[in-house]
Each structure stands twice: as structure tokens, then as C-alpha cells.
Amino acid sequence: MESMPDTAPELLLAPHWLVTVDSADRVLVDHVLAVRAGRIADILPRGEAAQRYPNAPLRELPGHALMPGLINAHTHAAMTLLRGMADDLPLMQWLQEHIWPAEGRWVDEQFVQDGVDLALAEMLRGGTTCFQDMYFFPETTAARAAGAGMRVVAGMLLLDFPTPYADGPDQYLEKGLALHDQFRGHPLVTTTFAPHAPYTVSDGPLEQIRIYADELDVGVHMHVHETEGECRAAVESNGERPLARLHRLGLLAPTFLAVHMTAVTDDEIALVGRTGANVIHCPEANLKLASGFCPVQRLLDAGVNVALGTDGAASNNDLDLFGEMRTAALLAKGVTGDAAAVPAATALRMATIHGARALGLEDEIGSLEVGKAADLVAVDLTHADTQPVHDVTSQLVYATGCHRVRSVWVAGCELVRDGHLTGLDEADITARTANWRDRIAAAR
Amino acid sequence: MESMPDTAPELLLAPHWLVTVDSADRVLVDHVLAVRAGRIADILPRGEAAQRYPNAPLRELPGHALMPGLINAHTHAAMTLLRGMADDLPLMQWLQEHIWPAEGRWVDEQFVQDGVDLALAEMLRGGTTCFQDMYFFPETTAARAAGAGMRVVAGMLLLDFPTPYADGPDQYLEKGLALHDQFRGHPLVTTTFAPHAPYTVSDGPLEQIRIYADELDVGVHMHVHETEGECRAAVESNGERPLARLHRLGLLAPTFLAVHMTAVTDDEIALVGRTGANVIHCPEANLKLASGFCPVQRLLDAGVNVALGTDGAASNNDLDLFGEMRTAALLAKGVTGDAAAVPAATALRMATIHGARALGLEDEIGSLEVGKAADLVAVDLTHADTQPVHDVTSQLVYATGCHRVRSVWVAGCELVRDGHLTGLDEADITARTANWRDRIAAAR
């Protein structure tokens, strides 16, 4: 961008509300956002835009809010093919009797490709512009997302045991590093290590991951303390709670992303705050699997950066961050007994700038500020179900669904326009999905 | 209907799934539902339909689920004009500092008319075909709903204190009875008494209501035990918990509808079960106002009929029963720590047949059964965000939003077609809404 400061913007967007999610949570009315070379080139009063950029095309978005693209900080995109396959079951029964057997039977590169395409369609259509993934064949996930123009943080998966993707820790690591190399410098793809969970990854590989993460300057993304049962089992088997173990291994740091964290003591909250580790809250999956309640407000009070994830669609059952923001805001109030807990503006920050910070992308995305990538979502608030608008932030969190998203840009490219995907072929994607459904159903 | 058994149906609907919500929760595939004179005239295998009804028009609904219209068993429709006016505040502060002052200043017949129209548009569009309301000027609410072709149970409001609607208990009662008379025998309108809450209605009027309710054979609909604080305050002021007081006054019976019920002891659950009183669960409003958790699964286990309500949009902030079903199912799991609590099929029953039973309309609506009114919702499950369909009930509860509703019929009239309101003028409604927003904002 620096090389062409005087070039005219390619696009001026004129929404009713510009919901910046900047450090002051400013909401600007009668302002225009200028996009140039995939970045936010300017934000200026509407009256000045015509003067300053007389030749740039102006896109009117009357009655719309323009906000930063939503960031899904934890999902398993390919699992969308298993949406609704097993419900109303506790975590371990759900995993051991349904999900793991289905994965063992069906997961291969083709499954991941088709499942990720389905997830991309849903996420983009719903205003999500960036997601962090943890699953088998992450190089396929990264390639599909990048091909669709979506921003992705691909998890370099690691488990102690063999799967159709890798035969053991060394091969997981090797494939992860190859993925990292393959996408190094890619404008849309970054990576994190993704050791699955404390109960599926032993100390040796975690130590290796810590060393590589430091060397490559990437984050480490892991399910941690998803249930109190996980903590109890860890204490029984090795005398240590998982978070203490991860701390002993040197993992807790601003580059660490702990997903779930429903079972945490006061001391553990303080530890997370002190080390600068991030928490990724997945309220709907936690509720659905009855995993416990993540103490979000207490974590925030301790200075912890809390981001939001949908988790996989097999345990959610959608990839809708509007719903997740709303559930996060509502649930925090119920759990604390304090209706002021996690107000709307905080929920919106969790789904945007907090996500960016957790993923190490704070300088690039997560807010509407000049110089950042033009990852944008235009939400139509003119319909009966989002009227009246007394407070636009409240409306976005408490009353708007993903279905009111009209346009979505990633790095300045309009991937959803007037509610329709511009690049992905939804009919082809749903046909491939139906084919998987039939194959899976026939074998059950 | 009995008078024309041989008349051909006006319409045959051929969805992919017929989600009956009958006593066996049957889901029928390759079946057709026949509508005649506003009622469900037949349900039969697709192959037989052409033979039995060769001249009836067949409407194909490929990839759609056809389900009973959703029943919102508790709302304050007109308050939709106050959506998002005050958020992230506890119940009493929200009521005393924001809602009651706004109502005192703004509520009149025009406010109720415009607010109800806004609510009707949102509810119909989202698959709700019947709602029970509690608010000022209920005769306006009933008239607007009936005029729009929507089914309504109008609450005959009563408070101890004067408001712009009535000057005291006698006048509330008088106006309520006039409303009851006005709509007696109306095909879409029934009534319930709606004493606001134990803390706003004293014994005398409640005794009168009990006598009239028996005489007129209508229900009594009341906020009860919305918070533990309400119960504590009652005990402090008169030594009795509200539910015990209502029982002493003879109100607890199968005609009683207790809204909220977050604060209930084991004995109170047993009492509700024994008396046959209904509970109306409003999970999102309870969460948002941090009111506590209604023990839904324990109530169900005690044989209580639990229905669902959105409450008003000022405390929700929408009128979306798909969202409410989902929240009810998710929250019950989180609160009990049992992922099997309130499974998808139960949540769907709460939003349909349980609602019908609570409102005394079980023989008329709430399930797809021959002879019942044709209150129907067609949901399009072909898009990426609702694919694949491994289990249609799971999909409707956990993965589908109100935005996938394509057509809605009330008593056989198609009030939403292809996602658009056929009768209500949405542009006019949102213009009137914006006008209220401006007036309210200018005065703040």
C-alpha cells in the first residue's frame, strides 16, 4: 500500500453505521470506508469523500452496518459433513461411540475437501472471514480456503496415535512443517500448531512443538480443560492438572490458545492472565455437550484475551458466529447472575479483534482501521426482524442473524454479494454433501 | 369439515419430510398433506395422493420439512418497538429505569398497533403461527393479529396500579371482559386472563380473576417466580412464596400458565406437577436479565407441560422461536450437566404441541394430524447451512434458523410465501417503526 499512496481507492463503501471495533468501540455515522489494494485506505466523513476521491465508485449501503469480518477462532471445518449425525450425548460417548468411529471410517482427503467447502460456504455466507481450523489433512483445508479467497489459520495437527492422516507424532509434525513451508508468505494462510488435547498428546511431542513454535514464531492451539472430568482423569493418572502440565512444559504464553477452559480454578485464571495465554470460548458446543461453563467474565477481568469459536458443526450444530456472539453474551449473564456481564460490545470484540489478537493477526484484521486488510461484512438492518435500531451494536449481537449479511469482503474481494456467494458453487457443494450423507447413512 | 367429506382438498403439500410432532413424533417421508377448508384433511403416502385426489393442485416442496406452526406462548408483542433500547441490565433496573418510564411516556393504542404489526411481521416470517400476548390495549393486539390472519391468545391484562390503559383493577377487568366478548367465537382469537405478576396484583383481583376464569372457561397467564429475589421479597412482605400464595388462592390448575419459574424448590416442582399447571419457559430473556435457570428437565420429569415463549423483544431481543428452541435445548444440558437433557424432539414439542396444550388449543393446533387446523411451516433445508440432513429434527432445532422458513400457513391461508409476507406490508411497517425510533430517540 505504501507504494501507491496517491492511487484512487477501488471502492468507497457508504453504510449507515461503520462499526469500527477500534480501541474506543467507535460507531461512525455518515462515514465512508475506502478500499485500495485489498486494504482499508481511508475512513472519512461522507461529505469529504466525494471531494477527496471524486473518481472512486461509491457503493451505497443504506440501512446497513459495516463491521469487521467475524473470526471463528476454533473449528473443525470438515466435520460439517457430520452435522446432526449424533446429538444429545455427553462428550466422551459422543466422541467414542459416534464421531471417532465415523472419522475412522470416512475421513480422507476427499472428505476433508468436501466438508471444508461446505463449511466455507456457510461461514462466508454468515459473515465469517477468517477461521482457525484443527483437523486431519490441514493442507487440504488451507488450500480450499485460500482457493475460495478466505483467510485461514491452519492447525498443524498432532496426536499420539495413528490415524488415516499420519502414523504417529513424527509424521504429524513432518506434515505440519511441510504445510507451514508450503504456505509461508501466503497472504491468506497462516499456521498454528494444533496438538489435539492434553489427554491425546504426551510430553515429548509437546516439547518438540514448543521448540518449533518458538523457532517459526507461530502459535499453539489446543483443547484444554474442556470438562472437569478431563482434569480429574489427568490428576488421577499423573498427579497434575492439564494446565499445570502445559505450564511446566513452557507452553503458556501469548502465543498459546486454550480452547474451551470450562474447568478452571481461581489460581488457573490468574495463571492464564499472568502468562498472557489466550482463551477460545465455544459456548454452544460446551452447552450441547454439557461440558461446563467457561468463566468468561472472570477471565476478562483477569486481563485474558478471550476469543470465540463455534467448534465443529457436529457439536454445535452450525458455524454461525452471530449466534455464538449472542450465546456468549447471554450465557455469561446467566452463569454469573449479573446481567451486565459480557455486554454486547464485548461479545462483538470477542468475535473480531480478540480473535485477531489470539491468532497473531491483530495488525492485519479484527477492526476497521486504516491500513488493515479490508475484511468487511455489510449487514442489512432494514427488515422487520432488526427494526427499530436503538443501538446498532446491541442489534448486531442480540437481534441480527447471519441471514442479514448481504456482502462480505476478504482482503477487498467481495466473496458474498447480495446474499449470494460470488465464487463458490453452492449447488455443487450441497450435491457433494448429499452424496456423503447417503454413503454414511447406507453404512450405518 | 364434517359437512363436506367428499370435497376435494384445495391444496396438497408434498415436502421431503413431514414432521408431525404427533404422540409418536413420527417423521414421514414421501407423504402428502391435504388441506381442505383451512384444516388438515388427510395425510397419505405420496403414491396414493394422485389417485385419491386427482384434481387437487399439488405443491412440491423438495428438500423442505413441513412442520406444525410454532407457538410463542409468552410475549409482549408491542414492546418490539423497544428492542435494544436498554440492554445488559438486571431485571429490576431494566424495568424501573428504562422500560416502565418509556412505557409511561409512549404507550397508547397507536404504539401498540405499530408495535404489534412489527411483531406480526417478524413472527410470521419466522414460522410462528400463534402467540399468547400480555400487554396494554390487548384488544388492539387481537384485532391486528386477526386482521393479519394470525392466531392469537390475547391476555386480559390486570395490574393493581393505573396506567394509560386502565385506571385500576376494576377497569382492567372490565376492559378484559369486553375484549373476551368482542372476540367470542372468533376462529383465530381466544383469551386468557393476564394478571401481570404476584408482586403487581393483590389477592382481591386474583380472586375475581379465578371466578371469572372458571365461569368463562379461559386460562390465567402470569409471570411467576421470575427471580429468586421476587420470592425473597414476597416472603419478607407477607411470609409466603408467590407460588404458595397462588395455590392458596386456588389458581394452580391445568388452566394456569406460569411464565419463567426460574426459582423453584423440589416441593414447588411437585406442586406444579400435581396441580397440572403449565410452565412457559423463556430461556433467552431469563439469560439476558440474569434471572436464573428454569429447571426444565426436572419439570418435564415431574409431568409438567412446559411450553416456550420468547418474552418481549425488549428483553430477548427477537421473537424467533427457532432460536428459542435451540437455546432451550442447549441451556438445559448446560444447567443439568447432562447432554441428554431436553433432546431436540422435546424442544420441538415445547414449541408446538406443549404450547397448544398450555393455551387450551391442543385439539386445534400444535401437530400435523388430520382434523387440526392447517397451521403449517415449510422449511427449506437445501442450503449449505442446513446440509447434510442426517436427522431432520436435529436440523430443525440445532442448525436451522427462522430465515430458512419459506412458507407459512395459518388455518390454510398462506401468509408467507417464498420468504415474503403475502398480506402485511413490511415497508410500511418498518417506516412506522423508524418513526417511533426517531420520536423516542429525540426525547431521550
Question: Which whole-number Å values give the CA distances from A235 to A198, A270, B423, in the listed order?
Answer: 12, 20, 63
Cell numbers 387437487 correspond to what residue?
B56
Helix (H) or strand (E) holding B377: strand B376-380
Which of A226-230, A320-324, B3-7, B413-417 bottoms out in mean pLDDT, i.e. has the lowest?
B3-7
CB contact A81 to B (< 8 Å):
yes
Residue A196 CA: distances (Å) to CA of A5, A201, A223, B225: 44, 7, 6, 44
Preferred mutation among B383, B390, B397 to probe A, highest tally of A CBs within 10 A: B390
Query: CA-nearest residue of chain A to B120?
Result: A384
- Going by C-beta distance under 8 Å and a sequence separation of 6 or more, which residues neighbour residue A20? A26, A27, A28, A43, A68, A367, A368, A369
Q: Where are the alpha helices (DSSP H) in A302-342?
A: 321-336
Instruction: Map out the domains of chain B with their CATH numbers.
Output: 11-68+373-411 (2.30.40.10), 70-358 (3.20.20.140)
Higher-scoring residue by pLDDT: A405, A55: A405
Q: Is any Cβ of chain A less than 8 angstroms from the Cβ of B95?
A: no
d(CA B180, CA B387): 46
Grid coordinates given for B11: 391444496
Q: Which ranges in B10-153 belong to alpha helices (H)?
A: 46-52, 91-93, 100-106, 109-125, 138-148
**Nearest C-alpha neighbor of A354 from the set A308, A296, A302:** A308
pLDDT, tens only, B262-317: 999 999 999 999 999 999 999 999 999 999 999 999 999 999 999 999 999 999 99
Closest chain A residue to B333, measured at CA: A290
CA atoms within 13 A on the CB side of B358: 32
Cis-peptide, bond into residue B317, ω within 30° of zero? yes
Name the residue with cell 507451514.
A180
Give the closest residue to A57 by CA, choosing from A123, A8, A90, A112: A8
Residue A309 pLDDT more than 90?
Answer: yes
CA distance B252 to B266: 16
- From B321's Cα to the closest Cα of chain A, the distance in A is 13
Facing B385 at nearest CB: one of A318, A329, A334: A318
Q: Do B83 and A313 touch (CB under 8 A)?
A: no
B430/chain A closest Cα distance in angstroms: 6
- The mean pLDDT of A143-147, rounded to a whole number, is 98
How far is it, in rounded angstroms, from Cα B289 to Cα B185? 38
- Write out residues in chain B with pLDDT < 50, as ranges: 1-5
- Measured CA to CA, the distance from residue A75 to residue A73 in angstroms comes to 7
pLDDT band at A357 (very low <50, low <70, confident <90, very high): very high
B430 and A331 within 8 Å at the Cβ level: the answer is no
Taking CA–CA distances from B118, the nearest residue in chain A reads: A384
Put simply, the answer to whether B391 touches A436 (Cβ < 8 Å) is: no
Q: Is B402 on the interface with A (CB under 8 A)?
A: yes
pLDDT in tens, A403-427: 999 999 999 999 999 999 999 999 9
Task: Pull the grid cell for residue B97.
Answer: 429505569
Residue of B64, B75, B83, B311 to mutate when probing chain A, most A C-beta within 10 A: B83
Residue B345 to chain A, least CA–CA distance (Å): 10
pLDDT at A155 over 50: yes
Whether A89 has a pLDDT exceeding 50, the answer reads: yes
CB contact under 8 A, A290 and B333: yes
Q: Do A385 and B402 touch (CB under 8 A)?
A: yes
Q: What is the pTM of this model?
A: 0.97
> Inter-chain contact B83–A344, Cβ cutoff 8 Å?
no
Res A92: pLDDT? 83
Cell of A210: 514448543
According to DSSP, residue B348 is labeled H
- Bond from prior residue into A317 cis (ω within 30 degrees of 0): yes
How far apart CA A201 and CA B396 sit, in angstroms, is 36
3-state helix, strand, coil in chain A (%, to 5): 45, 25, 35
Q: Quick check: A120 pLDDT over 70?
A: yes
Peptide bond into B45 cis (omega under 30): no
Mutate to test the interface with A, among B324, B387, B406, B433 (most CBs of A within 10 A): B387
Question: How many CA atoms does the CB half-sphere of A66 hold within 13 Å?
Answer: 27
Asked if the model's pLDDT at residue A2 lies above 50, the reply is: no
| pLDDT for the residue A315 | 92
Whether A62 and chain B come into contact, CB under 8 Å, resolves to no
H/E element holding B129? Answer: strand B128-133
Identify the sign of the CA torsion B237, B240, B244, B248: negative
Pairing of strands B151-158, B128-133: parallel
The pLDDT of residue B4 is 43
Apex CA B134: angle with CA B129 and CA B139, to 5°? 80
Nearest to B284 among A83, A330, A401 (CB): A330
Q: Could you tell me if B287 lies within 8 Å of chain A, comparing CB atoms? A: yes
Please tell me which residue of chain B has the smallest CA distance to A340: B88
Q: Do B398 and A336 touch (CB under 8 A)?
A: no
Mean pLDDT of A120-136: 98
Interface test with A, best of B64, B128, B284, B317 (most A CBs within 10 A): B317
What value does the CA radius of gyration of chain A take, rounded to a whole number of Å?
Answer: 21
Within 8 A by CB and 6+ apart from B250, the residues are B210
Residue B77 burial class via C-beta count within 10 angstroms: exposed 0-12, middle 13-18, buried 19 and up: buried
Q: Once rounded to an integer, what is the mean pLDDT over residues A163-172? A: 96
> What is the enclosing helix (H) or strand (E) of B236?
helix B228-238
Contacts of A293 in chain B (CB under 8 A): 334
Pairwise CA distance, residues A348 & A27, whole Å: 13
Say which residues have a Cβ less than 8 Å from residue A341's Cβ, sequence separation at least 6. A296, A297, A332, A333, A335, B290
**Pairs from B137-140 (Cβ < 8 Å, separation ≥ 24):** B137/B78, B137/B107, B137/B108, B137/B109, B137/B112, B137/B165, B138/B176, B138/B179, B138/B194, B139/B175, B139/B178, B139/B179, B139/B182, B140/B109, B140/B112, B140/B113, B140/B116
**B3 vs chain A: nearest CA distance in angstroms?**
40
A376 vs A367: CA distance, rounded Å: 9
Residue from the list A334, A390, A394 with its beta carbon closest to the beta carbon of B293: A334
Query: Is A170 touching B (CB cutoff 8 A)?
Result: no
- What tens digit of pLDDT does each residue of A267-289 get? 999 999 999 999 999 999 999 99
The DSSP symbol for B284 reads: H
CA–CA distance, A8 with A307 (Å, rounded to integer): 35
DSSP B292: -
CA atoms within 13 A on the CB side of A123: 36
A307-324: average pLDDT: 97
Smallest Cα distance from A371 to chain B, Å: 32
CA distance to B9, B18, B150, B376, per residue, from B67 (Å): 19, 6, 17, 6
Note whether B426 contacts A: Cβ–Cβ < 8 A: yes
Pure H helices in A217-310:
228-238, 242-248, 266-275, 283-288, 296-301
Task: Indicate the average pLDDT of chain A.
Answer: 96
Lookup: cell for B4: 363436506
ipTM of the complex: 0.96
pLDDT, tens only, A181-222:
999 999 999 999 999 999 999 999 999 999 999 999 999 999
Which residues on A lie below 8 Å from B430 (Cβ)? 382-384, 387
